[in-house]
């Protein structure tokens, strides 16, 4: 093995599995396929596509992703039982390079859940890893909550998994409990202590409960791990997972002290970050490392002066390294289709002719209302949900009246199942009145669990991107829309979420999980 091989770090993306477990981040079948394709294009080595036994919808998504994968290994998750493992294999077996990832909680707290003794759990690990290895030659095994498992027992079960045929041993910090020095020491000691450890790949899977997921993952690599499990934007339940963009760029920028390489095309990071943010409904915080809106923004006079003289004074990486366009060319109402297509391609969006025509119409409408249309405005046009994607509910017109003299009033005209209806409602503000009008025309029991407004660009004529999350009978749906009128954007986002909720209820009911799988590794 060459030195470069020894320093190659495998990137294992679990946005579609662990990331999607973040409450409210559920993605549709089509969105999962799209994100998987983008991850494959970016050079992610392994895509954990889902938890096949969780639901029929999850199984179908993993199966489709496996069939469509080009270069990436496609992995599915399975608990330590034959039924889970068989179902996982059925989903991933279509991939050119399939992997089964099976796990069991090994800490005292997790052993108490199935009420297994150490010996009983050890036997189950041997049986299930052996079963997985008989189906697939690429098996990964995880001792969930490894960082709170007794040292002697952890060594014992890792050795059992290696002897049973696991080729990757993942060491999860399931609840974000460990610290960087501990993370490095744990991996190093396992490699030095466990028989056969030098013949397998050790992986690290860190959660961000104490804000140390990235630091812990990089420390584990220093300790000998050569696979990092991570998600786009650090998406994940509770405080999230290790962020792919952070570990990849840290190793790229600080190769002097972290001489490791990955196969990631970093110029695709920003596009993927924005896409995951849109489909999950989770906005990226402005000061988020690498992909936040302010990551390459400079307002301080001292900083601006330094940047004008030499960008390296206040930037340790170039915006274009992560896929940000070097210049923010302003488009206007005189710009044509060719210019729009070229600009969108620079931003990472290659649209089919019919998609371009739709965006072009909305671009012209926006340009008539807004003097300057910036990159972020165009991205909002492309990524914001269109309430006409399902024709059951379509907004035709909306008028609101509000002020200090009384309650706001909204008059909404909307087609419901092809029939045009009108409703007028009052409320505590124009958005409240509008949502009440929607509910009058389309009665529903969905609970509004998130309403978020985000200004796309600066100024009073800025577009507002509105994100809405609805919950109904265990189903979760997100909707997003952008408009220079915040109330209109709110109405469209709300209707978009309702349309998607109806699709899930009526056409893809299998998306609802049949089992609970929170807190998995």
- 379 with 451, same domain? no
- 341 with 407, same domain? no
Residue-wise pLDDT tens digits, 43-96? 999 999 999 999 998 999 999 999 999 999 999 999 999 999 999 999 999 999
Residue 287 to residues 147, 239, 292, 322, 353, Cα–Cα distance (Å): 30, 16, 5, 16, 36
Residue 310 has pLDDT above 90, yes or no: no
Specify the pLDDT at position 286.
84
Residue 449 has pLDDT above 80, yes or no: yes
Specify the pLDDT at position 381.
80
Specify the pLDDT at position 478.
82
- 349 with 476, same domain? no
- 333 with 187, same domain? no
Residue 327 has pLDDT above 70, yes or no: no
Lowest mean pLDDT among 222-231, 429-438, 448-457: 448-457
Residue 11 has pLDDT above 90, yes or no: yes
- 13 with 77, same domain? yes
Task: Flag whether 303 is in a domain.
Answer: no
- 376 with 463, same domain? no
Host domain of residue 491: 393-506
Which positions make up the binding site? 18, 205, 207, 241
Task: Flag whether 491 is in a domain.
Answer: yes
Task: Flag whether 80 is in a domain.
Answer: yes
Domain count, the chain: 3
Residue 491 to residues 128, 359, 431, 482, 483, Cα–Cα distance (Å): 50, 19, 8, 10, 10
* Tokens read off for 383: 């990524």
Task: Flag whether 302 is in a domain.
Answer: no
Average pLDDT along the chain = 87
Task: Flag whether 299 is in a domain.
Answer: no
DSSP H helices, 310-374, are: 337-346, 353-369
* Tokens read off for 412: 């909404």
- 422 with 403, same domain? yes
- Which residues, at least 6 apart from 173, have a Cβ–Cβ distance to it below 8 Å? 146, 147, 183, 204, 205, 206, 207, 213, 216
- Residue 493: give its domain's CATH number: 3.30.160.270
- Which residues, at least 6 apart from 332, have a Cβ–Cβ distance to it below 8 Å? 367, 371, 372, 373
DSSP per residue, 156-167: HHHHHHHHHT-S
Q: How far apart are CA 276 and CA 235, in angstroms?
A: 9
Residue 34 to residues 88, 148, 316, 338, 386, Cα–Cα distance (Å): 21, 36, 31, 25, 17
- 437 with 373, same domain? no
Task: Flag whether 83 is in a domain.
Answer: yes
Q: How far apart are CA 217 and CA 202, in angstroms?
A: 12
Task: Flag whether 300 is in a domain.
Answer: no
- 131 with 214, same domain? yes
- Residue 122: give its domain's CATH number: 3.20.20.70
Task: Flag whether 481 is in a domain.
Answer: yes
- 158 with 268, same domain? yes
Give the pTM. 0.78
Residue that finishes a domain, picked among 251, 280, 309? 280
- 501 with 453, same domain? yes
Q: Report which of residues 12 and 499 the model is more confident about.
A: 12
Buried b / exposed e over 83-122, threshold 16 CB at 10 Å, is ebbbbbbbbbebbeebbbbbbbbbbeebbeeeebeeeebb
- 330 with 421, same domain? no
Residue 100 to residues 18, 20, 64, 335, Cα–Cα distance (Å): 15, 19, 16, 50
Maximum pairwise Cα distance, the chain: 78
Q: How does residue 194 score in pLDDT terms, banded at 50, 70 and 90?
A: very high
Residue 161 has pLDDT above 60, yes or no: yes
Which positions make up the binding site for Mn(2+)? 18, 205, 207, 241
Q: How far apart are CA 285 and CA 264, in angstroms?
A: 23
Strand ranges, E, within 380-436:
393-401, 408-416, 419-427
Is residue 151 within 8 Å of 159, Cβ to Cβ?
A: no
Residue that finishes a domain, picked among 383, 405, 425? 383
φ and ψ at residue 461, rounded to 5 degrees? -100, 15
Residue that finishes a domain, picked among 280, 298, 314? 280
Q: How does residue 325 score in pLDDT terms, banded at 50, 70 and 90?
A: low
Q: How far apart are CA 170 and CA 514, in angstroms?
A: 26
Q: How much is the average pLDDT of 199-218?
A: 98
């Amino acid at each position: 093995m060459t030195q470069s091989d020894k320093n190659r770090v495998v990137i294992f993306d679990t946005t579609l599995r662990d990331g999607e477990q973040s409450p409210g981040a559920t993605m549709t079948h089509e969105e999962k396929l799209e994100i998987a394709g983008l991850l494959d294009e970016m050079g992610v080595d392994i895509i954990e596509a889902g938890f096949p036994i969780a639901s029929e919808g999850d199984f179908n998504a993993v199966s489709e992703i496996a069939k469509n994968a080009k270069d990436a290994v496609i992995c599915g998750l399975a608990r330590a039982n034959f039924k889970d493992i068989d179902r996982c294999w059925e989903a991933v077996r279509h991939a050119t390079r399939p992997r089964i990832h099976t796990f069991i909680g090994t800490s005292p707290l997790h052993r108490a859940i199935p009420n297994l003794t150490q010996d009983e759990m050890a036997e189950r690990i041997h049986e299930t890893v052996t079963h997985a290895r008989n189906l697939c030659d690429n098996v990964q095994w995880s001792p969930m909550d490894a960082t709170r498992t007794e040292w002697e027992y952890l060594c014992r079960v890792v050795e059992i998994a290696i002897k049973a045929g696991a080729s990757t041993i993942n060491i999860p910090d399931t609840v974000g409990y460990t610290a960087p020095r501990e993370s490095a020491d744990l991996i190093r000691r396992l490699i030095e202590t466990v028989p056969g450890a030098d013949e397998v790949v050790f992986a690290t899977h860190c959660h961000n409960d104490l804000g140390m997921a990235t630091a812990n993952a990089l420390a584990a690599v220093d300790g000998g791990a050569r696979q990092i499990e991570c998600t786009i934007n650090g998406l994940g339940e509770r405080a999230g997972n290790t962020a792919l963009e952070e570990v990849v760029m840290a190793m790229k920028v600080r190769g002097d002290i972290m001489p490791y390489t990955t196969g990631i095309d970093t110029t695709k990071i920003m596009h993927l970050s924005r896409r995951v943010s849109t489909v999950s409904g989770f906005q990226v915080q402005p000061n988020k490392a690498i992909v936040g809106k302010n990551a390459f923004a400079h307002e301080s006079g001292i900083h601006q002066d330094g940047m004008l003289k030499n960008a390296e004074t206040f930037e340790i990486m170039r915006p274009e390294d992560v896929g940000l366009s070097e210049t923010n060319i302003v488009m206007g109402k005189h710009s044509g289709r060719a210019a729009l297509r070229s600009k969108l391609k620079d931003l990472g969006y290659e649209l089919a002719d019919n998609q371009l025509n739709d965006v072009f119409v909305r671009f012209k409408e926006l340009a008539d209302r807004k003097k300057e249309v910036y990159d972020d405005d165009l991205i909002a046009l492309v990524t914001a949900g269109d309430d006409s994607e399902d024709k059951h509910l379509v907004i035709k017109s909306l008028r609101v009246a509000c002020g200090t003299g009384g309650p706001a009033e909204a008059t909404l005209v909307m087609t419901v199942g092809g029939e045009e209806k009108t409703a007028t409602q009052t409320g505590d503000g124009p958005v409240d009145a509008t949502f009440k009008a929607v509910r009058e025309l389309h009665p529903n029991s969905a609970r509004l669990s998130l309403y978020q407004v985000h200004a796309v660009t600066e100024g009073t004529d800025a577009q507002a991107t509105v994100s809405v999350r609805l919950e109904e009978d265990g189903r979760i749906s997100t909707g997003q829309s952008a408009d220079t009128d915040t109330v209109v954007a709110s109405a469209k986002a709300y209707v978009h979420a309702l349309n998607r909720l109806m699709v899930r209820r009526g056409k893809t009911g299998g998306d609802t999980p049949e089992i609970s799988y929170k807190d998995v590794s």
